[in-house]
Amino acid sequence: MANKVYNMAGGLHSAAAYSAFEDAQYGTCVANDMSFVVSAGTGMNVEVSTGDGLISTGTGFARRIGTDAVNTVPVDAASSANPRIDAVVAYIDNSVAPTVNVVDNTNGILKFKAVAGTPASSPSQPSQAQIQTSIGAGNPYMVLSYVTIPTGATSTSVATFADARNIAGSSIRLVLSTTDIGEGADLPENTLYGVYEEN
């Protein structure tokens, strides 16, 4: 057992000291709704915006990630027979060694990839196993967006994007009322609605 005080002068700090609190609070997430936004690029490419986030390692701490430039990510050619769904992911490439000689490990440890799903008349998102196989076993990742590539597409401008990011600190509001507002009511994002009876 060890009782720890992370942020006092002296001693070495572990990777967990840097992000254990945030990992416990948020897990894998992006800093805000402007971080790592996936959108259509030119041709068969998508673009990932600048941003900051956390990728949980699954071992009690996360890796803090960030980019200050838009990343262009290639997408596989569309199927000529069926649509498919791709997963655009950010991941930590553990095969690249961190080094004290490179500030903030800008030597290619953080990577982005579009993991192609299987074309089908009613396609499914790539499974966790498919993603892990594509990016490398043991590499932690987060899914940023699912992109539906239409049959025969030659540009991602015709693709459909489904945001898959977990945004840090996104709160859920609970609204209770004695009146049922009805199905399909227009409520603010992240709002739960409940009806109760007054005694």
- Please report the pLDDT score of residue 101 as a whole number: 83
Q: pLDDT in tens for each of the 199 residues of the chain? A: 688 788 777 778 888 888 999 999 999 999 999 999 999 999 999 999 999 999 999 999 999 999 999 999 999 999 999 999 999 999 999 999 888 888 888 888 999 999 999 999 999 999 999 999 999 999 999 999 999 999 999 999 999 999 999 999 765 555 555 556 566 566 655 566 555 555 5
- Write down all domains in the chain, each with its CATH number in brackets: 15-195 (2.60.520)
pTM of model > 0.75: yes
Contact by Cβ (8 Å): 39, 24: no
- Please report the pLDDT score of residue 123 as a whole number: 96
CA 58 – CA 24 distance, rounded (Å): 10
List residues bridging with 189 in a β-sheet: none
- Please report the pLDDT score of residue 31 as a whole number: 94
- Please report the pLDDT score of residue 23 as a whole number: 92
